[in-house]
Amino acid sequence: MAPGSACPLPPTPPPSRVLCCCTRWSSGHQEGEPSGQRGPAGPHTSAQRCQYCTLVLFQKTPEIYSVELNGTKDIDKTDKGDGKEKYRGLKNKPSNCKKNHQIQEIKEELDLNDHKLSNEDLEKKYGTNIITGLSSARAAELLARDGPNALSPPKETPETVKFLKQMVGGFSILLWIGAILCWVAYGIQYSNDPSSSLDNVYLGAVLVLVVILTGTFAYYQEAKSTNIIASFSKMIPQQALVIRDAEKKTIPSEQLVVGDIVEIKGGDQIPADIRLLSSQGCKVDNSSLTGESEPQVRSCDFTHDNPLETKNMCFYSTTCLEGVATGMVINTGDSTIIGQIASLASGVGDEKTPIAIEIEHFVHIVAGVSVSIGIIFFIITVSMKYPVLDSIIFLIGVIVANVPEGLLATVTVTLSLTAKRMAKKNCLVKNLEAVETLGSTSIICSDKTGTLTQNRMTVAHLWFDNQIFMADTSEDHSNQIFDQSSGTWTSLSKIITLCNRAEFKPGQENVPIMKKTVIGDASETALLKFSEVILGDVMEIRKRNRKVAEIPFNSTNKFQLSIHETDDPNDKRFLMVMKGAPERILEKCSTIMINGQEQPLDESRATFHTAYMELGGLGERVLGFCHLYLPADEFPETYSFDVDTMNFPTSNLCFVGLLSMIDPPRSTVPNAVTRCRSAGIKVIMVTGDHPITAKAIARNAGIISANSETVEDIAKCLNIAVEQVNKWDAKAAVVTGMELKDMSPEQLDELLANHSEIVFARTSPQQKLIIVEGCQRLGAVVAVTGDGVNDSPALKKADIGIAMGIAGSDAAKNAADMVLLDDNFASIVTGVEEGRLIFDNLKKTMAYTLTKNMAMVFPFMLYTIVGFPLPIATVTTLFIDLGTDIIPFIALAYEKAERDIMNRKPRHKKDRLVNKPLVLYSLLHVGVIVTLGAFVVYFTVYAQAGFRPSTLIGLRVKWEKDDVNDLEDSYGQEWTRYQRQYLEWTGYTAFFIAIMVQQIANLIIRKTRRNSIFQQGLFSNKVIWVGIASQIIIALILSYGLGSVTALNCTMLRVQYWFVALPYAILIWVYDEVRKLFIRLYPGGWWDKNMYY
Amino acid sequence: MRQQLRSRRAPTFPHGYRYRLDDQDEVNQNYLADEEEEAEEEARVMRVPNLEEEEKEEEQKEEEEGQGQPTGNTWWQKLQLMNEYLWDPEQRMSLARTGLILVIYFFFYASLAAVITVCMYTLFLTISAYMPTFTERVKPAGVMIRPFAHSLNFNFNVSEPDTWQHYVISLNGFLQGYNDSLQEEMNVDCPPGQYFIQDGNEDEDKKACQFKRSFLKNCSGLEDPTFGYSTGQPCILLKMNRIVGFRPELGDPVKVSCKVQRGDENDIRSIHYYPESASFDLRYYPYYGKLTHVNYTSPLVAMHFTDVVKNQAVPVQCQLKGKGIINDVINDHFVAAGTLHDAEEARASRM
């Protein structure tokens, strides 16, 4: 659009911005603002606000560099010293330095003065030559000094620390203590009697093995999911075109050093911080740095004191959109501005995720319960005159029985399964625990551009024949329903097609129109695609209407004009077509085309204004179109048009129509927003756009719902001043960055709390952080989307930061917990659903796990207090925890949602994963039934072998005496020690299988918490059945396959014993169905409150 | 204290429930003996009309409390949390609620108790009082030796009676039940060499065959009250464990044979068995269980180690031999394979 604006031509304002000025609203608002300086709250302003805290991080005194080249050693030394100082400076910051401080540092201006220097001074300062570049040797030297030109990745916890954390986290500590107690017990036994059995040593070893196995497994799972991220974030190495040794060379941009002369062209990412030396029509997209989405012209003029604002600087990680430029590298790697921001953001510590807190809570409950039961037990046994040693063993037994050893590892599996599922739905979760955080989200602060919108201009409305037509703005434009029969449309379509410089990039024949790449600016692209969809091959039409002259768009004319031959061979007239700011176009017109007929403009002027206002009010960018057939006698075929002298009429044209464009919301977004709303999630839009555009998009996307009004709306409706309106009457609010800047935190809190629909417009990325903090003060779990580097503090600060996978910068991705692969807001909602689902399913898992604890602790109680032969051994309990229960845990993660998942409010922070009803119902209801069922089997086995329950009471002491080989049973039969032992093992096996059988029922009932199993579908989750099969198979293997391995304490069990617990399994199912029935019958009632977990 | 322990969830009962909860109060009093709590309960009843106000007050109070408390994850809070799980200390409403909960739990557990009673009853119906359902766990029959010492090593010094006196006492005690007079009085003398089968109803009392102490001859303790220990020729009795319904092979009674397990065969030069057949006679089988076969006397075989090497450990293995007797069960020294190195007459030192 600005061809050949090579330096030192005066900088031209970005044309697209000027197009923007065509609209009524923006011309009104933007008049006072110099172009290139967007919002009042841009980096410049914030920098000013923080002037007092300027940190001299980047000051490089020119004196040092003015020494001769052979003094490089000195330079090195000085610089190294400097570097250390910097480092120390950073390190010495008080450790309690809160984020706010760091943010201030980010906002603050960097004392960079290279943009003020002349080329000669620069050459001197960096010891380079603008024409020949650095010498290779010097470059290598500098590379060795400064390190590669890449952002150093955020510091990661060392792998060993991660591994050790897994080894001591959760229940592991308890198990370690158990194992050590085992060995201590053996030590004492051994010192008394060297021939004592090694059982305790084995048990200790098994416990340690369990800890190590589960720990390693969890570590492996985590590492695996981290690797996915690592592979994702690995980028294709960038190349940079650099002048070295007076030659142009392409080198990996990592090898760039300060003083290199690089050439950039349209499409390149800027490889380092660069001071431009020459430029030709160079425009950059600084959005990743400043959040400004408009392309900005870059030249080699020093235009502003602030390095971020001046035109002769380009920054690392921004993109060159078009044109070419040459520049000198002045900062590389971490010392670039981006690097500085990124490293500060990565220093912000992570807070615990909600699910981590919940799991910790669960661990505390279980550990608390098991330790307290253990200790009570210990006291009982000691006071019952058991030897202390035995009491210790009992204590270990109780702890091991209580602790679900396999649970935490499977929780990791469950989370990573969900993470995988979410990745399929385009949510890539970096931190496993963030999976659930999304589910508890109560506020989503979303970007507009790209996330809520399609990120491309699209024709939204047309106005011709005094009517407004709506165009289809969906992603594929397939459904254009407006009236195309009018003659006016024929003319309008011709203007749209011809008065357009945009072209498709060649070689995209098979790409759908909407996905084709276009060379040209956003508006022209929109028009091109629009006409291509409706009219077919635009290039062919243009070929038939050969262009003879053209005036491209510029900011003074505010129109674009071209003159064409017509495709009608009989018509020798030239067609002049023009588009531009509607007022300007209208000024040049004297007639208007209605239904294909030219009519005098006068009476239509009013309707034009109404339409223009209306379209402008929708936040759309409006263009006017007009044409004129140049009379053939005045302008014969051979006429030579001169665009400079304008030797053709540019007034008294025929006005044809208006066309308005907008970056429309993605078609999935309104639905997603509605779902969010029904799910109790507040969606806040944060954008750098103009309030009117923002509001229009918010309305379209449903963020401001159809029936809610802002203060301005109410004022307009009641015809009173805005100040008179009661602020809290308005449901919706549109707040600009300027207003936000003047707000106190209390005011912001009030605003956030009292409006359900909020749009923040004209905000800078830094203000996003303020908004996030405000939301968090309200106790909300906040999800924030972001793509720019400046978003990274907000992403870090948010409970869950969501970076954009396509548009997002690396720094944002690093700071985020989650990456949206398709940049689509709707994916967040899918993520929310998955997150809620996993929370529910984890709840089910916890309930499932807790249930059997009763059945594993009771045997120890009866063993020690009543004196039954031990019903189930510690090792056998491990078979349940680590054997039969493992796959069911995971299977529950596959359970589908009970219907209401997206219709309820977000989880309150006080809604625990493991709450009181869950614990009580699991332990005292189902747990008791399981225990009884298991004991019935136990009694059956003993009674049928000869020991009636009455005989068993107090039998323990004799039973366990090794030298009693003729213990009498209820029938007078005599049992040797080994025979008793074998019977005891049979008892273990029976008890184990009884628990297993009832756990099958327990698994089935845990499928739902409120609905009946039959409503949910008994076979809806196939994995559950895999889990049940696994339980049975593992039990079969243990009993029949490994029954002969004595160490496992399992025996071949008579087939009938497998079915003894079956009635209890059925009882569990029936009881739970009754529970659910009452919950459904009396929602909110006493039963619901106490029995719904 | 009570205030602080209250649950964070405000009591939000549907209005319809209050009425019913009041009805529960009587029941509650059964459970709540605490005077203080009763007093509070009265207070609640009086205040019922303006409950809504109260709830507000309560919420306010709670808020105040919430602010007053340190928000860190202190141990104290964890303790409170634990407390909530163990006992719900909410005021007023909680009393009624606790009562209701207790009632519900009572009924729940009562019905569970009923279920388990039915189950156990059914179990006992299926189990015969006279005949165990399965005897495979107790088979093959084990053997046990007397004197009952807590180890299998017999280690004594002839010249020091203290070292063997307890064996003698043990044997004497054990053989009291075998006294000839007692046996003759209680039991019948049944023909040897054949099963003593007593048909008839299961629940009929069964007669038992005599096994007189005198059958053991030199090991009966009648002639030598020290059972040979004083002369360095110790007696050891072998008893086969009772198994209901067990019958050795007909015509081939279970025989006992002992030999040196490891080492020199000549370490034991002679063993006398009493009864001389060294077998458990068939007439003592089958056993009908202790309910009907009250006076059943287990047959014994005494082994008299008359000539054993002194001052040296002699591992002896005694095996039961007979059809249907497995005597090589590896894991169990007491199953048929017999008492292992029971007669380690080690260091029967006569220095």
Residue A1071 confidence class, pLDDT cut points 50, 70, 90: very high
Nearest to B112 among A919, A932, A944 (CB): A932
Name which residue leads in pLDDT, B26 or A1074.
A1074
Q: Does B121 touch chain A (CB under 8 A)?
A: no
Is B137 within 8 Å of A928 when comparing Cβ atoms?
no
Q: What percent of chain A has pLDDT over 70?
A: 85
Q: What pLDDT sits at residue A26?
A: 33
Residue A1070 confidence class, pLDDT cut points 50, 70, 90: very high
Residue A585: is its pLDDT beyond 80? yes
Nearest to A966 among B82, B112, B142 (CB): B142
Nearest to B137 among A928, A965, A982 (CB): A982
Q: What pLDDT sits at residue A229?
A: 53
Q: What is the pLDDT of residues B71-91, one digit of tens each?
A: 445 677 766 665 555 555 444
Is B124 within 8 Å of A943 when comparing Cβ atoms?
yes
Residues 42-71 of B with CB under 8 A from A: none
Written as six digits, the tokens of A397 are 């037994």
SS3 A55: coil
For residue B134, which residues of chain A lie inside 8 Å, CB to CB? Answer: 944-945, 1054
Is A1086 within 8 Å of B85 when comparing Cβ atoms?
no
- Do residues A39 and A762 make contact, with C-beta atoms less than 8 angstroms apart? yes
Residue A467: is its pLDDT beyond 70? yes
Q: What pLDDT sits at residue A996?
A: 93
Q: What pLDDT sits at residue A932?
A: 93
> Looking at this protein, which amino acid is placed at residue A595?
N
A971: closest chain B residue by CA: B289
Q: What pLDDT sits at residue A210?
A: 85
Written as six digits, the tokens of A1048 are 């496992």
Report the alpha-carbon distance of residue A1000 to residue A983 in Å, rounded: 26
Q: What is the pLDDT of residues A219-269, one digit of tens each?
A: 887 777 666 555 544 444 577 888 888 888 888 888 888 888 888 887 777
B295: closest chain A residue by CA: A972
For residue B85, which residues of chain A lie inside 8 Å, CB to CB? Answer: 365, 916, 919
Residue A910: is it exposed, middle or buried by C-beta count within 10 angstroms (0-12/13-18/19+)?
exposed
Q: What is the pLDDT of residues A684-728, one digit of tens each?
A: 998 888 888 888 888 888 888 888 888 888 888 888 877 777 777
Report the alpha-carbon distance of residue B141 to residue B144 in Å, rounded: 10
Measured between CA atoms, how close is B185 to chain A, in angstroms? 22
> Looking at this protein, which amino acid is placed at residue A49?
R
Query: What domains are there in chain B, each with its CATH number?
Result: 141-340 (2.60.40.1660)
- Verify cis geometry, omega within 30 degrees of 0, for the bond prior to B140: yes
Q: Cα(first)–Cα(last) distance of chain A, in Å?
A: 64
Report the range of poorest mean pLDDT among A233-247, B168-182, B210-224.
A233-247
Is A939 within 8 Å of B130 when comparing Cβ atoms?
no
Report the alpha-carbon distance of residue A987 to residue A955 in Å, rounded: 15
**DSSP classification of residue A896:** P
Highest mean pLDDT among A402-406, A805-809, B116-120, B331-335: B116-120
Mention every residue, 6+ apart, whose C-beta is less than 8 A from residue A572.
Answer: A632, A636, A637
Query: What domains are there in chain A, each with its CATH number?
Result: 121-136+238-347 (2.70.150.10), 428-452+666-832 (3.40.50.1000), 458-662 (3.40.1110.10), 843-895+912-1091 (1.20.1110.10)
Residues 190-249 of B with CB under 8 A from A: 239, 241-244
Alpha-carbon torsion (B320, B321, B325, B329), positive or negative: positive
Q: Annotated active-site positions of A, please?
A: 447
Residue A764: is its pLDDT beyond 90? no
Name which residue leads in pLDDT, A388 or A589.
A589
Residue A995: is its pLDDT beyond 90? yes
Q: What is the pLDDT of residues B95-133, one digit of tens each?
A: 566 677 788 889 999 999 999 999 899 988 988 888 888
Q: What pLDDT sits at residue B54?
A: 40
Q: What are phi and psi of A195, to 5 degrees?
A: -95, 10
Q: What is the DSSP string of A560-577?
A: EEEEEE-S-TT---EEEE
Alpha helices in chain B (DSSP H): 2-5, 15-31, 35-47, 51-68, 75-86, 93-126, 165-175, 180-186
B132: closest chain A residue by CA: A946
Q: What pLDDT sits at residue A345?
A: 61
Report the alpha-carbon distance of residue B178 to residue B210 in Å, rounded: 8
Q: What are phi and psi of A252, to 5 degrees?
A: -60, 140
Residue A991 confidence class, pLDDT cut points 50, 70, 90: very high
Report the alpha-carbon distance of residue A109 to residue A9 in Å, rounded: 28
Written as six digits, the tokens of A913 are 């994963």
Give the A:B interface size as CB pairs under 8 Å: 139
Highest mean pLDDT among A87-91, A390-394, A719-723, A1003-1007: A1003-1007
For residue B291, which residues of chain A lie inside 8 Å, CB to CB? Answer: 971-972
Nearest to B242 among A939, A949, A974 (CB): A974
Q: Does B82 touch chain A (CB under 8 A)?
A: yes
Written as six digits, the tokens of A864 are 């020690």
Residue A943 confidence class, pLDDT cut points 50, 70, 90: very high
Residues forming beta bridges with residue A623, ordered by sequence position: A659
Q: Does B150 touch chain A (CB under 8 A)?
A: yes
Is A973 within 8 Å of B135 when comparing Cβ atoms?
yes
Report the alpha-carbon distance of residue A883 to residue A887 in Å, rounded: 8
Q: What is the pLDDT of residues A176-190, one digit of tens each?
A: 888 888 888 888 888
Residue A935: is its pLDDT beyond 70? yes
Helix axes A604-617, A691-701, angle to 10 degrees: 80
Measured between CA atoms, how close is A814 to chain B, in angstroms? 30
Find which of A375, A961, A966 to mutate to test the B interface (most B CBs within 10 Å of its CB): A966
For residue B242, which residues of chain A lie inside 8 Å, CB to CB? Answer: 972-974
Residue A1027 confidence class, pLDDT cut points 50, 70, 90: very high
Q: Does B18 touch chain A (CB under 8 A)?
A: no
Q: What pLDDT sits at residue A1069?
A: 94
Is A924 within 8 Å of B105 when comparing Cβ atoms?
yes
Is A972 within 8 Å of B151 when comparing Cβ atoms?
no
Report the range of poorest mean pLDDT among A1-15, A722-736, A795-809, B129-143.
A1-15
Q: What pLDDT sits at residue A16?
A: 33
Residue A65 confidence class, pLDDT cut points 50, 70, 90: very low
Nearest to B138 among A928, A979, A1084 (CB): A979
Beta strands at A296-298 and A273-285: parallel, antiparallel or unpaired: antiparallel
